[in-house]
Amino acid sequence: MSTLEVSNLNDGTTTVATTYITNGSPKVWVDYSGSGTSYNDSFNASSATDNGTGDYTFTLTTSFGSANYAGVVNALNTADNNFDTFMHTQAAGSFSAKLRVGDSGSDTDKETYGIACGDLA
């Protein structure tokens, strides 16, 4: 395998250091159906666990260096519901999402999206 070492990228008008791209790019993202153990699509995610209604854990293929990374989860809103969607646990090799209907506070299953950025191990 060959290695290409580049310090900067330039599109003709703007120069950007490659560290902004490698450090700032998402290291994992998931599109999860809301039930079962498989993803609709994903990057750097090996499996999903349905822990119960509105509670999912996403396991990473390559772990973060620690549990100190930034992540966001959200749900597909097809019925104009007010959802409360949040990460409720983070570990170097996984994160969990919790999904509730905000108006009633009841847990619910919906298509859920997650993204996380940080330093990989």
CB 52 within 8 A of CB 34: no
Residue 10: pLDDT band with limits 50, 70, 90:
very high
Q: How many domains does the chain have?
A: 1
Question: Does residue 80 surpass a pLDDT of 80?
Answer: no
* Greatest pairwise CA separation for the chain in angstroms: 55
Domain-embedded: residue 8: no
- Does residue 56 belong to any structural domain of this protein? yes
DSSP for 11-24, written as a single string: -SS-EEEHHHHHHH
Does 3 fall in a domain? Answer: no
Q: What's the predicted TM-score (pTM) here?
A: 0.82
Once rounded to an integer, what is the mean pLDDT over residues 1-5? 87
Q: Is residue 31 part of a domain?
A: yes
Higher pLDDT, 31 or 78: 31
Banded model confidence at residue 79, pLDDT cuts 50, 70, 90? low
Structural domain contains residue 48: yes
**Where in the sequence is the domain holding 55, given as residue range(s)?**
26-117
Residue 26 C-beta-side C-alpha neighbours within 13 Å: 15
Residue 69 within a domain: yes
pLDDT, tens digit (0-9, with 9 covering 90-100), for 94-121: 999 998 887 777 888 888 999 999 988 8
2: in domain: no
For residues 109 and 16, give the distance between their C-alpha atoms in angstroms, rounded to a whole number: 41
Residue 113 lies in a domain: yes
